[in-house]
Amino acid sequence: MNAVLSVQSIIDEAVAITGQDDFGSADWSEGLEVLVAAARTEAKLNEAGEMSFRYRMLNCVTNRLQVIDWIKNHPEIKNEKIERPLMIIGLPRTGTTALSNLLAADPDTRSLRVWESGSLIPPPTRATYESDERIATAQAGLDLLIQMVPTFPSMYDDSATGTAEAIDLLGMSFRAFQLTGMAVMPSFDQWWLNCDMDEAYALHRQTLQLLQAACPPRRWHLKNPSDVFYLEAVRKTYPDAIFVWTHRDPAQVIPSVTNLIAELMDPFVTELDRPQLGLTQIALWAKGIERAQAFRADNPEGFIDVAMTDLAADPLGTVARVYEAADWKFTNKSEVSMKQHLADTPRRGHKPDLDQYNFSLADIRNQFSSYCDQFSDFIN
């Protein structure tokens, strides 16, 4: 057996690194086992891909062990209240990152940063939040990725101090959709679509509790487009969550997200079927949006809709409307910080080559017809 892609060797190394062996749940490793099996049989990883995949899995296991140990040794963390977190959801490539980084610019809002999401323990403190040595480590990892994928900066606004998608919090339970972002692994996708997410979101919440206990403020904003697949579990964990749903024409979304994923996969696999990847993305995200629409039909309260076109044309005005709808105060301090962020952030343009994917834009819209009809005011 290839030790690089071995569940037991990953677990053994994480235990050796942390000195901990309490995983907190009897069935915690099911997702890891499905993932590793898919990596071995479906992913077509090259040597760099195998090493990168193992590193990512090891990081998830290590974070899990350290977080569970920290909570066990600091039981007062469970008294921390996570109140009315604002969660950005929707299809990817709909302005979620741009909106997330704007919200994170507000000094009164707590956000999950790239550098801390990858290395959670010890939890950051306010005194060293801007100078933590993990920032440089995370940036070095991103710089290496950019060397391997030179087109990445033109497609995605990412930095060690930027906002992270909350996938690392779910990744500790190996129930994160984006864990397959390095290669095509359909068996994991199908498993994930039908798994129980309650434990994953429970650990997600406990991690926010330990982070805010050491480093306020306590008004959270988070971003994770794939939460649309499991809004029932999210609402069960965060009963007062506010969902900010960003919108864009799916015929623009799907080619963009497929091309981003393809560019990120390409250095790590021996072959990549781009047209099939496009079909896979259409089917998966259509399922996610279908689930989100069904949940919202039964639970209509607590949603705020944002058109990507509005965000691009009037970012501060759009954020002000979100704050008003969420009953957050849009202070002068908030506005000044966001204006500075906008001034410091270059605009990106990403136009995928549709000929690589054989996309039919009409077929994409047909797959998302119910969504397009319901949110026509936000995508046209």
Cα dihedral 115→117→121→122 (10° resolution): 50
pLDDT at 350: 66
User: Does residue 109 form part of some domain?
Assistant: yes
What tokens does 41 get? Answer: 């049989």
Q: Is residue 284 part of a domain?
A: yes
Distances (CA, A) of 10 to 2, 203, 265, 295: 12, 21, 22, 37
Side chain identity at residue 26, one-letter code: A
pLDDT band at 26 (very low <50, low <70, confident <90, very high): confident
The whole-model pTM stands at: 0.95
Residue 16's Cβ-side half-sphere holds a number of Cα atoms within 13 Å equal to 7
Q: What is the pLDDT of residue 1?
A: 46
Query: Is residue 21 assigned to a domain?
Result: no
Domain-embedded: residue 185: yes
Examine residue 12 and state whether it is found in any structural domain, yes or no. Answer: no
- Average pLDDT on 180-192 reads 92
* 201 occurs within a structural domain: yes
Q: How confident is the model at residue 261 (pLDDT cuts 50, 70, 90)?
A: very high
Query: Total domain count for the chain?
Result: 1
> In which domain, by residue range, is 112 found?
84-379
The closest of 201, 221, 172 to 57, measured between CA atoms, is 172
Average pLDDT for residues 142-153, to the nearest whole number? 88
Over residues 356-363, the mean pLDDT reads 84
| Lowest mean pLDDT segment, chosen from 21-25, 144-148, 185-189, 324-328 | 144-148
CATH classification at residue 241? 3.40.50.300
- Is residue 118 pLDDT above 70, yes or no? yes
CB 270 within 8 A of CB 45: yes
Mean pLDDT of 327-354: 87
Higher pLDDT, 2 or 184: 184
Place of tokens 């623009």: 252
Predicted confidence (pLDDT) at residue 349 exceeds the cutoff of 70 = no
> Mean pLDDT across the chain, nearest whole number?
94
Query: Considering the domain boundaries, does residue 67 fall inside one?
Result: no
At 345, is the secondary structure helix, strand, or coil?
Answer: coil
Tens of pLDDT, residue by residue over 212-257, are 999 999 999 999 999 999 999 999 999 999 999 999 999 999 999 9
- Domain contains 329: yes
Question: What is the average per-residue pLDDT within 133-158?
Answer: 89
